[in-house]
Amino acid sequence: MEFSKLCNKIFDKSVNDYHITDNVNTVIKNPYKIKTIEYYLYLKNWIDAVQWHYEDIIRDPYIDPKDALVLKRKIDKSNQERTDLVELIDSYFLDKNKNIKVKDNAVINTESPAWAVDRLSILALKIYHMDQEANRKNTTKEQADNCHKKLNILLEQRKDLSEAIDILLNDIKLGNKYMKVYKQMKMYNDPALNPVLYSKK
C-alpha cells in the first residue's frame, strides 16, 4: 500500500472516532500497536482533532477570560506535542532509509516527509468539517453550494498532496532526494531563550 493511502485511511478513522463523542476531553483509544507507524499516525491526527476543536472553542466571543487562558495553555501544549510527533515520524523515515545510497546529484526537498504528512492530517479534518457544513440543514442554499465547492477543492488538494508525498518517499528510496531533519527551535517555549521568562528569575 502506498504510504499516503495508509495515512488517509488512518486519519479518516481517527477523525470519525473522535466525532463519536465530539468532546475534547475524550480519552484516546488508539487501536494500533504501540510504537508502530500506524500508532503514531493515529495519535498525530487525534492531537490535531482535539486542537481543531480547542481553536473553535477559544474563538467564542463570550468565553470567560480565565477559561480562555487555560485553553491557550492547552493549545500551546498541543502544539508542542504535535511538533514532537512530526519529528518522531521523520525519525521513522530516516531510519527506514538509513542504508540508501544517495546519488551525487540528489537534492533536498522543501519540507520533510513528516511535515507533508502533517498537512495531510489537517486536510482530513478540513474535509470532514467542510462536508458537515456542506450538508448542514439550517443554512442557505448559497452557503451550502459554496461549501460544496470548497469541499471539492479540498478533495483535489488531498489527492495532489498524497501523490506528492508518495513521489517524495520514492525519490528518497531511490536516492534521488535526501532528508535532513531540523529540530524545531521554538524559543518562546524555552525558559532560557524567552526574555519574558528568563527575566522573571
Q: Could you report the per-residue pLDDT of 117-168, keeping only the tens digit for each?
A: 999 999 999 999 999 999 999 999 999 999 999 999 999 999 999 999 999 9
Domain ranges of the chain: 3-192
Q: Going from the first residue of the chain to its last (201 residues), give the mean pLDDT of each consecutive group of 10, the final group possibly shorter.
A: 96 98 97 98 98 96 96 95 95 95 96 97 98 94 96 98 98 96 73 74 66
Interhelix angle 65-96/113-134, rounded to 10 degrees, is 130
Residue 201 is predicted with a pLDDT of: 66
27 residue type, one letter: V
Residue 28 is predicted with a pLDDT of: 98
How far, in Å, CA of 48 to CA of 75, rounded? 10
How far, in Å, CA of 34 to CA of 36, rounded? 6
Cα dihedral 50, 127, 2, 166, rounded to 10, equals -100
Residue 199 is predicted with a pLDDT of: 78
Residue 194 is predicted with a pLDDT of: 78
Residue 90 is predicted with a pLDDT of: 96
Q: What is the pTM of this model?
A: 0.92
Interhelix angle 141-174/3-21, rounded to 10 degrees, is 140
Q: Long-range pairs for 97-102 at CB < 8 Å and ≥24 separation?
A: 97/172, 97/173, 97/179, 100/172, 100/173, 100/174, 100/175, 101/175, 102/175, 102/178
